[in-house]
Structure 1
């Protein structure tokens, strides 16, 4: 059933079916690179709004949120605030993001080892990079640098989150981790470490060492970039 608030400014499906078919054929032949960002979103929306032109709605979403990835990062409430986008379409958009999350999670879980920041950069960006509040994520590894466990251990405000060493290291002990990676996000969008970030890294490294746990790295992530405090490089 088509959602009641399907985009009202569109054209009838009999007029738009040829355009939709061309979009599908371009995607089937050449993948997402054959489509502009709004066209990719337009094609996605055809699966929840089958009888209306979804191009105006796709362009409105891009205008409102700024980019394709930003559209996927929005909550159900923010998506349905856009005129013409109902709960069914919002759920589809959020389902796509969740599928990406699941895909990257399994890639990390199935890696033989996690030996450098690049191995988990995409995973941490999609996991917490777009959070609108600063939070701390813990990644636990075994002796072979294989993933044992990951979780968000602290969540704070838009500007900062508390770093409580006990909360960070407790899951590592419970999961018998011998190595950990600490990750926190910067909602500002800039992966620039502060003096406090460097100070907490040193403190955690010292405390973890007393428990025979290696602090492998401390990463700062945003939706678009991840910084390794260990190497000083963006990945």
Structure 2
């Protein structure tokens, strides 16, 4: 039987699909692409000869959402068939870029006057972390950001925090105020008794030194809790 001259090869179909996706993105923007299509798009350069659609769909099925894919640990991403180290680098670079963008939005700002930007940055950085992290934002007298440090990283449900170490770092930065932050990988941001006690201990040590604890924020999955708003500090 003669070959059909009109039949497209898999390589031609693959190339055509990528081109159509690019054209739609250029003409209509990112909102014209479904989550799996945007993930496909991210993988084009890293996987030039692979069909990225099944890989993108597998990632969404495994992790549940676009943001969870970007935040997934490298070792979990390696479980997805077809993902190379280069493609994982691409995914993690996009996640880092989002966090850095939000952090840049805080530069040269009074953080207490930019609360929505503070929360956006913290959620981008922490809400999908598989383990607890304890973070401190060190502020100057005008509530400008001096430094942002992850002080401790723990397990899925615990992070050891040492109040005197927190204050020592504040003094080293010449900070006059702090915002304490940690995440709950379970997704529920409700503060535990230990969270409340630890916060009160830091406030107790900081106050005589002229250092104010503005808040302790707990980041959950798509939600957060302020101990200040709950009148717990």
TM-score normalised by length of structure 1 = 0.87
8 Å contact from structure 2 (residues 128, 221) kept in 1: yes
Q: CA shift at 1:177, angstroms?
A: 0.5
1:76 is matched with 74
1:97 aligns with 2:95: yes
- The residue aligned with 2:112 is 115
Q: Which residue matches 1:208?
A: 206
Residues 86-122 of structure 1: CA deviation (Å, up to 9, x unaligned)? 1111111111111112222222224x21015423112
Measured after TM superposition, the shift of residue 49 of structure 1 is 1.6
1:25-46 alpha-carbon deviations (Å, 9 max, x no partner):
2222333221111111011111
Asked if 1 retains the 8 angstrom alpha-carbon contact of 2:105 and 2:117, the reply is no
Separation (CA, whole Å) in 1 of partners of 2:72 and 2:29: 24
Gaps in structure 2 of 5+ consecutive residues: 1-8
Is the counterpart of residue 143 in structure 1 residue 150 in structure 2?
A: no
Q: Describe the SS at the equivalent of 1:230.
A: coil
Rg bigger for which structure? 2
In 1, the alpha carbon distance for the partners of 2:29 and 2:55 equals 22
Asked if 2 retains the 8 angstrom alpha-carbon contact of 1:13 and 1:53, the reply is: no
Matched, 1:197 2:202: no
Count of aligned pairs: 222
Q: Is contact 2:132–2:185 with CA below 8 Å preserved after alignment?
A: yes
Residues in 2 aligned to 1:44 and 1:12: alpha-carbon distance in whole angstroms: 21
Distance in 1 (alpha carbons) for counterparts of 2:117 and 2:224:
11
CA distance in 2, matches of 1:149, 1:217: 16
Corresponding residue for residue 31 of structure 1:
29
Residues 41 and 58 in structure 1, CA contact (< 8 A), matched pair in contact too: yes
Higher RCO (CA 8 Å, separation ≥ 6 residues): 1
Q: Superposed, which structure 2 residues align to 1:124-143 within 5 Å?
A: 124-143=122-141
CA contact (8 A) 2:102 2:117 kept: no
> Residue 222 of structure 2 corresponds to which residue in structure 1?
224
SS of 1:149's partner is strand
Match of 2:153 among 140, 147, 155: 155
Contact kept? 2:188, 2:221, Cα under 8 Å: no
1:62 to 47, 60, 75: 60
3-state DSSP of counterpart to 2:215: strand
Deviations 1:159-194 (A, max 9, x none): 112221111111111011111000011010111112
Per the TM alignment, residue 223 of structure 1 is displaced from its structure 2 partner at its CA by 4.4
